[in-house]
Every structure is written in C-alpha cells, then in structure tokens.
Chains A and B, each alone.
Chain A
Amino acid sequence: MHQQANQRGATGNSLSYRPPESLNAVVMHDGGVNAWLDDPENGTTIQRPAPVLEDGNLSYQIPGKRVPLGFYSAGTANFRYWTAVEALRRGADFWQARIPDLQWHMGRKLTVVLDDGVDLNAYYDRTALKFFHGRSSEGLVYSGESPDILCHEMGHAILDALKPELWNVGSQEVAAFHESFGDMSAILSALQLPVMRAAVISETDGHINRNSRLSRMAEQLGQAIRESYPDAVDPDCLRNASNRFMYKAPTLLDSSGPASLLTSEPHSFSRVFTGAFLDAIAGMLLAAARDRAAPTDDELLQMSAHMGDILIAGVRNAAVVSNFYSQVAAGMVQAAGRINPAYPRPLKAAFVRRGVLSLHSATSVETLGTAARSMFGDGSGEEPISHAPSGIALDGKPYGLGDMALIVETPSQPRRFAASSAVNEFAPVQVPSSEVAARGFVEQLFKQGRVDLSDAASEADRIDPLASLKTHRLVKAEGALRLERILCDCGLNHD
C-alpha cells in the first residue's frame, strides 16, 4: 500500500513535485533515515540525518523494541518508526530553539505510541501522543506516519507546556486555538525542510497562502475519512489552511456540521485562525523578501523562525479570556514589530481580513501595546501574565488623549489588549463583560467630568466641565496614562 502511495501525487496521479537533485536533502550513505517529506498521500520520500529520540528537555520515548537505524522502504513498520521520529524531532527542535527551557507538561520525556489500535485518528492526552491505523480503499492508513499529524499532536503538547491553563478552559475559542496551534505547528515544522520550502515556493509561485502541499493537512487520513463520511473533511485533505473562513462568535455557531461550514467544533473553528496565519506568513514573506516577485528558500526559512517567535510571544502575552483569538493576534502584531518593522502590516491585514481583529483593534494595537508594556514589562514573553496586575489598556482617542493609551484597573483577569474580533468590518464583536464594565466606567467618569485632565490633554481636546469635582486623575506612565482615583465621591455633587 505504501509503495503504491510512494508513486502517487496529491491527486492520485504522478508526483506533483519532484525535487531537483540540488535541493534534495543531503544524500547519506549511513547515519540517516528515509522519511516522508510531508503527508504520505503526496508520496515523496527524503533522506534525513539520523534523528535523536531523546534530546534536551523535549525528549520522546517510544515503548517497545527500538528499531535499528537504517534506510527502510516506505510501507514497512521500520520506515514508519523512523519517519515518525524524524518529524517529531524536527518539530520539537523548532520549538526548543524558540523556548530553550520549555519542558513537556509531564516532564522531560513524552511517550509516543505509534500504533494504539484501530481508529482513523490521533490524540494527545497529557501523558502521551497516541496514533492509530484504519482501513481505506487503498489499504491501511497509519496516522503515526504523517508528519502533518505527528507535528499537529506534538503542537498540542508544546502549547500545553507553554500555556497549561488552556487545557481545561470551558471556551470554544480557546479549544479551537489549541487545534489551530497544532496545525500551525505542522506548517512551521514542515518549513524547516529545504525540499519543502522549495516545493511550496515552486507550487505557489511564492504566494504561500495558495492551496499547496503546505496548506493541506493530512491528505491521506482525510481521504480515508472521506470514504465513510464524505462531508466530514475538506475535499482535498483533512483541513486546508488555505481557506476563506471569517470569524464569527463561536457561541452563535452550530456545534457541528459539514466541513464546508464553519461551526464551533474546535477543529472547524480553528480554520479561521489558521487561515489568517497562512495569509500572514505569505504576506510577511513578501514584505521581507529582497525581491517580492521571487522570495527565496532562505527568506522563507528565516520568516518561519520569526513567525515561531511571534506566535510564542502572542500566546504568552494573551490573557485566557473568551475573545482569545483577538488577544493572541494583538500580541502577535506587537511582537512582530519588534522583530521586523515590515511584519506588522501584513500580519494586521491578515487578521483584519478574517475578522480575528476588528479594524479598530488593528489600528490601535500598537498604541495599546505600548501601554501594555508599561503595565506588564517589555512584552517579550518573559513575564507570565498570571501574576500581572489587573488592568486593561484602552484607546485614549475617544477621551481626547490623542495617541496615548489609557490604563484602567478592572476586576477581571488582566488582558494586555482591549482587542476584539469583528462580525464585519465596522462592528466589533461584543467584548466580555469585564471590559464593557471598564469602558462604561471610564466613559461615565469622562462624561461627568470627574477626571482631572490638566496634565494629560490639550485645552482644545478637553471636553470636561470647567467646574466639577474630580474623583480621578491621569498619571503619566511609560507611553500611557494611568487612571487613578483621587477620592471617593459620595454622589451628592451635581454640578
């Protein structure tokens, strides 16, 4: 079955991409392994240096007899063993380079069960990654030999190590982000292969958000599932990151449905964020390329590393709240600007186009980020948000404060950004109640003229009554203004 697969391309015909010799991985005569370039359905094998199962804080252990190193043929259990190790090691190395001290949730070694029985599936359960096999019309399908699936599940484990508080949050958006992170992990891990980078640049003519072997997740498993459930997966794979899904409040969506529809089921809803992510890396590649008409393999490699850093910063800085997508997106935009000034624009455009960030949030996110840094540190991801003070950064413009952001204490879990998603271009999704409460509180103070603006706004911008009892003042913080209470008004003042 796998020998046959090795002769097929994504469409079931001949290979859709045949890497030129000069771009192929180093040909090794010993000390290496054969592995899939990407999903087995695409049928391209490569030779890779011998991967190390146990390496650093992100080590793996595979129960059972250890398979000797060697160049095994596709379709054999030994090949499946080493292609799995190669993909898992490559993915873990990518993330380890971004976060050297990261360790699996359960410790230094993550158990990997390559074939735990019959099922067309795979999962991570905080103790292990488990993969299965199932039957399709073309033979047996092993989820544990697809680099897409391996690096997706590994992505769950990475995110669980990075942000364990996401694991049990009763939020559709948070659960969907976990799935999206798995797919983003698979995409970024795939881009660490020179042959893959050359293939995707060639296949998409440098516009890597086009449908390609990079955007298509798990073609073979998708095909096997499609045979029994035709509408359960995308037409050409399990999930395609090259999609057009727009953000909708997940609480308003059906809980399940055909793959052609967006639902609140986490894998389905994840496609919004993953689609924006693929658009973003495509735009960032062109923005950073020396020649926009011909981005290079090296530029794609560098951009993938930058995007890994940006994604990590976004996740680390995002408060665990119901509008988690927009919180991560805002943090990513912030981080992107520190890495390359050319990145924020295409990144914001991608998130706005999908409604992950509202227009208002996208235009104010950098101002708000400046304020966030004054509250929480430099936003480099070194400061855990869980111990940050309870506060939120609001856009200062509506209050006559120009580009200065306004920091307001709230009773909620702290958010770094007053960012929101959008139901359409001009209508931000209603934000959670704690933020509404904070905005309402501030607006009321300003309407009633209770805020002393003498040191914060120009005379022309001031709208506060000349004579009113001031209960609050604005104190300059780094790049922002912090709202502080001066006194408690008993409420009898009516001027």
Chain B
Amino acid sequence: MNEQEPVPADSIVPDTAESQAYVRGVVQRGEAALPDKDGKLPRGATHEIVGHHDASGLPILVRKRMY
C-alpha cells in the first residue's frame, strides 16, 4: 500500500516526526504484526500492520490491544 491508497480511518500513519517515532518504537519492540489467516495477531502484538507509508519507509498501523 502506498500513500495514494486508502487506509482505515483510525490508522496511525507515520507522516509526522512524532508519529514516526511512535511507529518506529512499536516496530523495534516487535509489537507490530500482520494478522494470521484467521485475522488474529500473535501474542505480544499491539498493532496490526495495514499498509506501508512510502515516504517514511514505515508501516501504517492500527491499534488492536493495550497490555
């Protein structure tokens, strides 16, 4: 998915310095994941990857859980 394609309305798009720092932290901690075939995220994941933000090279995320 690039910047031209729609993403869910409540997604976190890394298009500012603050949101990029946030997404980078989620990715570095291994908390961002793709859902399995049943739509479930693995244990420990907090965010689902729903797209890719080309300009920043970071994924677009949707929050799914809070631990």
Contact = CB atoms under 8 A, between A and B. Distances in A.
B56 to A, nearest CB: 11
B23 A170 contact: yes
Contacts of B14: 170
A121 B23 CA distance: 22
A23 B29 CA distance: 45
B65 A167 contact: no
B21 A121 contact: no
Nearest to A269: B25
Contacts of B44: 121
11 contacts: A124-B65, A153-B66, A156-B66, A170-B13, A170-B14, A170-B19, A250-B21, A251-B21, A255-B28, A264-B21, A265-B29
A178 interface: yes
B19 to A, nearest CB: 3
A172 B65 contact: no
Contacts of B12: 168-170
Nearest to A250: B21
A322 interface: yes
B17 interface: yes
B29 A121 contact: no
Interface of B: 10-14, 16-19, 21-25, 28-29, 43-44, 61-67
B17 A251 contact: yes
Contacts of A123: 65-67
Contacts of A256: 25, 28-29
Contact of B67 (A168, A171, A267): A267
Given A251-B17, A322-B18, A172 B67 contact: no
B43 A168 contact: no
A179 B28 CA distance: 19
A101 interface: no
A167 B24 contact: no
Nearest to B14: A170
A125 B41 CA distance: 11
A38 B62 CA distance: 34
Given A124-B66, A255-B29, 5 more contacts: A125-B64, A168-B63, A169-B12, A178-B66, A251-B21
Contacts of A125: 64-66
A264 B27 CA distance: 13
B25 A167 contact: no
| Chain A interface residue number, banded | 20 to 34
A121 B43 contact: yes
Given A125-B65, A156-B66, A170-B14, A255 B19 contact: no
Interface string A95-131: 0000000000000000000000001011111000000
Contacts of A35: none
A256 B29 CA distance: 7
A179 B66 CA distance: 8
B43 A167 contact: no
A264 B18 contact: no
Contacts of B64: 125
B66 A168 contact: no
Contacts of B67: 121-123, 267
B22 A175 contact: yes
Most chain-A CB neighbours within 10 Å: which of B14, B44, B61, B63? B63
A316 to B, nearest CB: 20
Nearest to B44: A121
Contacts of A121: 43-44, 67
Interface in A129-178: 153, 156, 167-172, 175, 178
B11 A168 contact: yes
Contacts of A250: 21
Most chain-A CB neighbours within 10 Å: which of B19, B23, B43, B66? B66
A170 B22 contact: yes
Contacts of A168: 10-12, 62-63
B36 to A, nearest CB: 15
A322 B67 CA distance: 21
A171 B19 contact: yes
Nearest to B24: A255
Contacts of A182: 66
B25 A172 contact: yes
A123 to B, nearest CB: 4
3 closest A-B pairs by CB = A170-B19, A255-B25, A170-B12
A265 B19 CA distance: 14
Contacts of A167: 10, 63
A187 B10 CA distance: 31
Given A121-B67, A122-B67, A265 B43 contact: no
A179 B29 CA distance: 16
